[in-house]
Amino acid sequence: MKKSIIIVILLAVLTIQSAKAQQSNYIHVSVDAGLVANTSRDKKFGLGGTLGWLTQDNLLWGNPNAYFSLSVKAFNNPYGEGKLFSSINNDADDAFNYIMPLVGYRITRNG
């Protein structure tokens, strides 16, 4: 009987904590458009984007306006015979492609 009461209380506390955590997690999605300007090969428009996850810092400062962020940024800029979507993952030399992970810490005044 005591074990089941302790388990129920523990599960209730964990559920409340995870519900609070949903208010402090954010997904950030952005679209980037442009071209690579420092080359003579570039004559076409490129597209890319960033997918990021921000979570409120409850460990270091305890400040509700500080966030940890993890993001992935990707960009594809075709040139020559390259097409915008078909040049992403082929073996031909027809585009500038990059993907990079970003890790950061964000401090804001108003959240």
> If we measure between CA atoms, which residue out of 57, 51, 55, 58 comes closest to residue 25?
55
CB 60 within 8 A of CB 41: no
Q: What is the pLDDT of residue 101?
A: 93
What torsion, rounded to 10 degrees, do the Cα atoms 31, 33, 38, 41 define? 120
pTM exceeding 0.75: no
User: What does the block give as tokens for 24?
Assistant: 């402090």
Q: Where are the domains of the chain?
A: 25-107
> If we measure between CA atoms, which residue out of 43, 55, 46 comes closest to residue 84?
46
Per-residue pLDDT of the chain (111 residues; tens, 9 = 90+): 677 777 777 666 655 554 454 567 888 888 888 776 766 666 677 778 889 988 887 777 667 778 888 999 888 777 766 666 666 667 666 677 778 999 998 877 665
Q: What is the pLDDT of residue 71?
A: 92
What torsion, rounded to 10 degrees, do the Cα atoms 42, 95, 88, 75 define? -50
